[in-house]
């Protein structure tokens, strides 16, 4: 796989060494068991796969390339490059400005842009409407287009579904940049609808099997269906694609459930005429990180820590997985570890920061399960490990780790 040129401060001595060792031992990535670093009083159970994925490293490399190649020019990102505060703050420190926030709200009016400006498309991609605005201004949107190739794969699959007269069901968060970008493309190829979760799939099923009046469809799915969507016509032939950072298991659950609904309505022998096979749209990196987190959870631990941006979808899903087994603390970096007794962390359910005291158990040996999202630099994971060792008053050297 391609090696990307990203700033050295994104890498780390501990995590880079761990990943290199695992890659040598398991080049085909068949082993999802975690790595254990034992420091006596504290041991870390580290997920087999975590941190920057292909799409994120590609985006970061091209962003810094744009900075280096365009001295004196105004450089803009359509929105956050990825959902990690450290990465975005560093880009801003290097002169890049964000045109929109993550919800699509305008920070800088497109009218102020000129053909001499540089605009980067983030890893999540962009809507066709925004691309048209930028192109009409004479801005080259392809030179620094950092859209993840796995996101583009979903777009291509959506196009094929539309061409074969399938309605495109998108499993995603309807206000997420990637889902907005996918929806803008799928809508021009065929009827499209966004489902957030299995509960919304169950609501949709009642329209598929005729158990709910179609007049209420537009209220139940307000803002999430394409123009001229007709539930009486467009729910007889469907295919499911996804926002690549969603839980792969949830996408599969939705697909399997809707398939069973279509079988009940049309029969097993006719299912191929009514339900497309779209397993090829799941992102390998999302799958690997989630599978590795499940592998990590096969071992016992006192607490779990997930590191990443609080608005990161893929990181949030790792928290969801881990909290089924451990007390889990979702932190953006080492600064959230106040002391050996207090941690500041993000609650994914209340969507608020909170502080927890005595988050580490008072015992002779503590075991911590730890992972990070696809947009989290290894250097942050490294600093979190160092900070925990610091508050536990454990002094180490690299030789202590890898001897």
Which pLDDT does position 399 carry in this prediction?
60
179: nearest Cα among 218, 127, 234, 214: 127
238-271 pLDDT, tens digit per residue, is 999 999 888 888 999 999 999 999 999 999 999 9
Which pLDDT does position 53 carry in this prediction?
81
Least confident of 138-147, 266-275, 390-399: 390-399
Structural domain ending residue among the three candidates 264, 282, 300: 282
Average pLDDT (341-352) is: 96
Which residues on adjacent β-strands are paired with residue 195? 171
Residue 375 tokens, joined: 């947009």
Residue 218 has pLDDT above 80, yes or no: yes
Structural domain ending residue among the three candidates 252, 282, 312: 282
Contacts of 1 (CB under 8 A, 6+ apart): 54
- Does residue 178 carry a catalytic annotation? yes
pLDDT band at 15 (very low <50, low <70, confident <90, very high): confident
Structural domain ending residue among the three candidates 106, 136, 166: 136
| Residue range of the domain that includes 211 | 157-282
CB 172 within 8 A of CB 194: yes
**317 and 359, same structural domain?**
yes
Residue 402 has pLDDT above 70, yes or no: no
* Top-confidence range, 78-92, 270-284, 339-353: 339-353
Residue 12 tokens, joined: 């780390």
Residue 45 has pLDDT above 90, yes or no: yes
Q: Calculate the dihedral angle through the C-alpha atoms of 218, 222, 226, 228, rounding to the nearest 10 degrees.
A: 30
Is residue 22 situated within a structural domain? yes
Is residue 3 situated within a structural domain? no
Which pLDDT does position 3 carry in this prediction?
59
Is residue 145 situated within a structural domain? no
Residue 16 has pLDDT above 90, yes or no: no
Is residue 38 situated within a structural domain? yes
Q: What is the CATH number of the domain that holds 115?
A: 3.40.50.11270
**394 and 353, same structural domain?**
yes
Q: Is the dihedral of CA 335, 338, 341, 343 positive or negative?
A: negative
Q: End-to-end CA distance of the chain, in Å? A: 29
**225 and 268, same structural domain?**
yes
Neighbours of 70 (CB within 10 A): 16
Distances (CA, A) of 242 to 85, 167, 195: 25, 14, 9
Residue 378 has pLDDT above 70, yes or no: yes
Instruction: Give phi and psi for 249, each to the nearest 5.
Output: -65, -35
* DSSP code per residue over 130-160: HHHHHHHTT--SSTTB---HHHHHHHHHHHH
Q: Calculate the dihedral angle through the C-alpha atoms of 388, 86, 342, 47, rounding to the nearest 10 degrees.
A: -50
**277 and 162, same structural domain?**
yes
Strand, helix or coil at 125? Answer: coil
Which pLDDT does position 84 carry in this prediction?
82
Which pLDDT does position 20 carry in this prediction?
87
Which pLDDT does position 270 carry in this prediction?
95
pLDDT, averaged across the chain: 91
Distance between CA atoms of 319 and 326, rounded to whole angstroms? 10
Is residue 151 situated within a structural domain? no
Which pLDDT does position 271 carry in this prediction?
95
180: nearest Cα among 124, 116, 107, 109: 124
Contacts of 279 (CB under 8 A, 6+ apart): 252, 255
Average pLDDT (117-142) is: 95
Which pLDDT does position 287 carry in this prediction?
83
CB 334 within 8 A of CB 383: yes
pLDDT band at 401 (very low <50, low <70, confident <90, very high): low
Distance between CA atoms of 235 and 239, rounded to whole angstroms? 10
**391 and 363, same structural domain?**
yes
**Residue of 57, 178, 250, 334 with catalytic role:** 178
Instruction: Give phi and psi for 324, each to the nearest 5.
Output: -75, -15
**273 and 161, same structural domain?**
yes
pLDDT band at 37 (very low <50, low <70, confident <90, very high): very high
State the angle between helix axes of 149-163 and 54-69 in degrees (0 to 180), rounded to the nearest 10.
110
Least confident of 16-20, 114-118, 315-319: 16-20
* Top-confidence range, 2-16, 39-53, 180-194: 180-194
Q: What is the CATH number of the domain that holds 166?
A: 3.40.1010.20
Neighbours of 290 (CB within 10 A): 26
Which pLDDT does position 292 carry in this prediction?
94
Q: How many domains does the chain have?
A: 3
pLDDT band at 167 (very low <50, low <70, confident <90, very high): very high
Residue 403 has pLDDT above 60, yes or no: no
Which pLDDT does position 7 carry in this prediction?
73
- 149-185 b/e (C-beta count within 10 Å ≥ 16 → b): ebbbbbbebbbebbeeebbbbbbbbbebbbbbbbbbb
**132 and 75, same structural domain?**
yes
pLDDT band at 101 (very low <50, low <70, confident <90, very high): confident
**47 and 64, same structural domain?**
no
**37 and 106, same structural domain?**
no
Is residue 216 situated within a structural domain? yes
Residue 78 tokens, joined: 């359509």
**271 and 293, same structural domain?**
no
**186 and 295, same structural domain?**
no
Average pLDDT (273-290) is: 83
Which pLDDT does position 293 carry in this prediction?
96
Residue 81 has pLDDT above 60, yes or no: yes
Distance between CA atoms of 131 and 127, rounded to whole angstroms? 6
DSSP state of 117: S
pLDDT band at 324 (very low <50, low <70, confident <90, very high): very high
Which pLDDT does position 266 carry in this prediction?
95
Is residue 107 situated within a structural domain? yes
- Strand 303-307 to strand 328-331: parallel, antiparallel, or no bridges (unpaired)? parallel
**165 and 278, same structural domain?**
yes
- 92-119 b/e (C-beta count within 10 Å ≥ 16 → b): eeeebebbbebeeeeeeebeebeeebbb
Is residue 1 situated within a structural domain? no
């Amino acid at each position: 796989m391609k090696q990307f040129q990203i700033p050295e401060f994104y890498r780390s001595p501990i995590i880079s060494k761990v990943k290199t060792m695992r890659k040598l031992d398991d080049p085909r990535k068949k082993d999802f068991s975690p790595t254990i670093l034992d420091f006596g009083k504290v041991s870390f159970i580290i997920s087999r796969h975590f941190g920057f994925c292909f799409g994120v490293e590609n985006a970061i490399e091209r962003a810094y390339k744009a900075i280096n190649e365009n001295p004196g020019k105004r450089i803009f990102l359509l929105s956050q490059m990825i959902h990690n505060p450290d990465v975005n703050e560093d880009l801003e420190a290097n002169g890049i400005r964000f045109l929109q926030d993550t919800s699509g709200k305008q920070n800088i009016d497109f009218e102020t842009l000129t053909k001499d400006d540089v605009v980067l498309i983030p890893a999540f991609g962009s809507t066709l409407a925004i691309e048209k605005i930028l192109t009409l201004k004479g801005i080259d949107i392809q030179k620094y287009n950092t859209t993840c190739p796995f996101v583009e794969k979903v777009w291509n699959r959506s196009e094929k579904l539309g061409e074969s007269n399938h309605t495109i069901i998108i499993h995603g968060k309807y206000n997420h940049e990637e889902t907005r970008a996918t929806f803008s493309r799928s809508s021009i190829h065929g009827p499209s609808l966004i489902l957030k979760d299995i509960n919304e799939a169950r609501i949709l099923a009642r329209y598929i099997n005729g158990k709910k009046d179609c007049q209420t469809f537009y209220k139940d799915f307000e803002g999430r269906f394409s123009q001229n969507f007709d539930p009486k016509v467009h729910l007889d032939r469907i295919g499911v694609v996804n926002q690549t950072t969603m839980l792969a298991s949830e996408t599969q659950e939705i697909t399997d459930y809707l398939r069973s609904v279509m079988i009940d309505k049309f029969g097993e022998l006719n299912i191929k005429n009514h339900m497309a096979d779209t397993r090829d749209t799941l992102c390998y990196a999302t799958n690997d990180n989630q599978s590795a987190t499940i592998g990590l959870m096969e071992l016992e631990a006192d607490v779990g820590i997930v590191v990443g941006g609080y608005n990161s979808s893929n990181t949030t899903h790792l928290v969801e997985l881990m909290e089924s087994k451990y007390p889990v603390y979702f932190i953006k970096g080492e600064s959230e570890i106040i002391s050996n007794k207090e941690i500041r962390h993000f609650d994914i359910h209340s969507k608020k920061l909170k502080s927890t005291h005595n988050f580490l158990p008072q015992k002779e040996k503590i075991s911590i399960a730890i992972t990070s999202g696809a947009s989290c630099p290894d250097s942050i994971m490294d600093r979190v490990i160092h900070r925990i060792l610091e508050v536990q008053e454990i002094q180490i050297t690299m030789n202590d780790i890898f001897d």
